Chain A
């Protein structure tokens, strides 16, 4: 059935697409959910999200307590595309991009008519279409701006969740709840007091503002979040042993002494001394890392740290063991606002301060939930108290006989070469890959001229 929508006549995809499917639902709740496209079961049923993905979709809505008839359900393109995942790779399938562009007026018109209070793009295709950015994993759950002036809360596509990613249900349900709160007008964006490269006196004042004035922590900072920035924070492996390389060079640091605030500064005196002052006053240091990334580098830089170092990443992992652990993935559960993780190069100070402020929220929120569930003591025992033995064991390491290692590896090399030579004999030439040149290559070994 050739698509018969109002704009289908000149669509480059018209001859290949099938059946034009209109959005469904009244949209009374003010929520518009957008997927990528209809598929087989939607073709048969004549409505969006009708098949197995529809089951997941309906369940997500029911877990949030929203009636499907009260939301509006639509897609990025409104007919069945050539094949599944056709629209997932715009750089590979140019015609898919053309079809999406051509179908824009349908969704634009719907948004203009329905005036939803919030849009929920589900999956990467819808995220690109609504928000103009890619990467659903790094945007899920955040509140994003759209060209329509309507906020969007992206989440995962029900079909993706249904195909072995059921653990993401929790994340999707959370995003839908957030969308509903926006639609109902109860949403409140997180507000942070961020001190970006302030004068040293302001940093001193900030430290004082975190000192407890009474109780058992009198004069101390109960919880101090610390985060450092390095030129290459993500390239670690080889530098682990030698404690040198770019990831051991600190270029910026920041900390947070209380919720809703953070300070950041370049890694230079007198700020380094002020950080030491804060560390000396603190009862515990929090970092969002699974390998003591920040604390090890701070120690390596000569700073003294308190004995108790807690990873907010492990605390989150203890709370929700099957969800992603990176700060960008955890943040939406404790922070309401737009993503900031892409701004490390453009706004390094803001980026670092946000990392600190959000980590404080993540840690305090996770701790409060674990306490409420009576599981904090278990976390203390199995993670915080285990940290030292496990770290010490890793530092001791295993002793290797270097002579045996060299001989064994040489032997493996030789065995591999022998096995590979046998293999090349057994594999027919017809299935071996061929490399072609238009001009004679420098190395002519094994090269033959095409006659």
Chain B
């Protein structure tokens, strides 16, 4: 019988290479955070108990003390752009996409090149948007439903005061409140709009951004912690965010919103467990309330509570966009629309038709919606120069987008 061969001992490792740090590996970023004693929160989307979140907001916080995290973010941002947006063009230098309705709120989705996810509001994003251009002899025309979700929050809160304020500029009104120069809420619509416009120019841009964050996130029941987490540049601390939120929610319009929350959460909870918007979109909610053993009562802080509050304005805004597209499809704009981006619609319009197209867009985007009792929403149109690009107009980008004032 053949004697079995003795098992050879494994060879020892003889060569080693120290690999480059990979900023896109969350495990490596976790190790880096551990090395600098930076505490990262647990990942909510992972079953792995040891997985920590390496989201931008947390790394930004760490970057204040350790510059290495700023470099991690710089690498990640550029790599994301390189890997996500190195689009393959067709023979006519165009990208194409499939627009669907994947979100449960029936907002529009964009896949196989997500053109709705194009970055915005940063210097790099502006440069990126310069890639998207109008065909020769055409302008890029974007029509945005101004503050549509805020107007709809007012509609669902059954607050004509909030609707008027949302149309006039609720962020600017709140900014005036923060600056102890509160605009009188009882002004007529035109005067309110003028006062808000004045406030927009009176205060600095960062304070307006902060006011905007407070209004938007508070309307959807965002916590001060979340405000600070999401926008660390806009708030000094969680306490700062809480102070501002308290001011907003204690105001007359804020009280309208709080009342609306109560109504909507009651409707979304048992026994209905669903909400139906005025266009027939329905969403089920199974976890609106949590039982609090200490108070022995049900509290509206379940996983579905915030989703329930956001559902009506968001799904209705999407339905309204359908109404606009349906109406536009009966006009020459049917030949020029190229992309709906949330509350925005992008078109390539021949130069000679630009004024007429803008007027049509303005008319359609402000028309009364019968399903909402004749409610109408404002529209803001911006336009590039002929053959221009999608980035905002500036000295360095003279052919970019600029608000159209007729």
Contact = CB atoms under 8 A, between A and B. Distances in A.
A49 B32 CA distance: 40
Contact of A405 (B35, B87, B106, B326): B87
B5 interface: no
Interface in B313-335: 319, 322, 325-326, 329, 334
Contacts of A447: 15-17
Given A167-B286, A317-B101, A449 B15 contact: yes
B380 interface: no
A416 B75 contact: yes
A240 interface: yes
B319 A382 contact: yes
B127 interface: yes
Given A382-B279, A420-B75, A401 B18 contact: no
A386 B322 contact: yes
Contacts of B101: 314, 317, 382-383
Contacts of A388: 329
B131 A166 contact: no
**Most B CB within 10 A of own CB, among A167, A170, A424:** A167
B356 interface: no
Interface in B81-97: 81-82, 86-90, 92-97
B284 A419 contact: no
Nearest to B348: A399
Contacts of A424: 20-21
B112 interface: yes
Interface residues of B, number: 86
A450 interface: yes
Contact of B15 (A400, A402, A431, A440): A440
A435 to B, nearest CB: 5
A36 to B, nearest CB: 14
B54 interface: no
B281 interface: yes
A85 B78 CA distance: 37
A438 B18 contact: no
Interface in A406-451: 408-409, 412-413, 415-416, 419-420, 422-424, 426-441, 446-450
B202 interface: no
B71 A402 contact: no
Contacts of A391: 99
Interface in B4-44: 10-23, 28, 31-32, 35, 44
Given A237-B112, A383-B101, A437 B87 contact: no
Most buried by B among A393, A397, A437, A440: A393
A397 B15 contact: no
Question: Most B CB atoms within 10 A — which of A318, A401, A413, A429?
Answer: A401
B340 interface: yes
A446 B279 contact: no
A445 to B, nearest CB: 8
A398 interface: yes
A166 B99 CA distance: 28
A440 B74 CA distance: 35
B326 A385 contact: yes
A420 B32 CA distance: 15
Interface residues of A, number: 79
Given A401-B133, A431-B32, A422 B71 contact: yes
Given A393-B340, A434-B19, A378 B95 contact: no
A241 B87 CA distance: 11
Main secondary structure of the interface of A (DSSP, over half): helix
A399 B68 contact: no
Interface in A361-389: 373-375, 377-379, 381-383, 385-386, 388-389
Contacts of A320: 284
B372 interface: no
A318 to B, nearest CB: 7
Contacts of B97: 394, 397
Given A382-B279, A400-B94, A426-B68, A433 B14 contact: no
Contacts of A408: 127-128, 130-131
B299 interface: no
A218 B42 CA distance: 62
A234 interface: no
B334 A419 contact: no
B218 interface: no
Contacts of B23: 420, 423
Contact of B71 (A423, A437, A449): A423
B32 A398 contact: no
Contact of B96 (A241, A377, A385, A429): A241
B251 interface: no
Given A399-B135, A420-B23, 13 more contacts: A240-B98, A291-B100, A374-B280, A375-B282, A382-B281, A386-B322, A390-B340, A393-B339, A394-B97, A398-B132, A399-B94, A438-B11, A446-B18
Interface of B: 10-23, 28, 31-32, 35, 44, 47, 67-68, 71-72, 74-75, 78-79, 81-82, 86-90, 92-102, 104-106, 108, 111-112, 115, 127-128, 130-135, 279-287, 302-304, 319, 322, 325-326, 329, 334, 337-340, 346, 348, 389
18 contacts: A85-B47, A167-B286, A321-B104, A321-B283, A382-B106, A385-B326, A388-B329, A393-B337, A393-B338, A397-B90, A397-B97, A399-B348, A404-B130, A427-B68, A430-B35, A435-B19, A437-B15, A448-B17
Closest 4 CB pairs of A and B: A378-B280, A166-B286, A166-B287, A397-B94
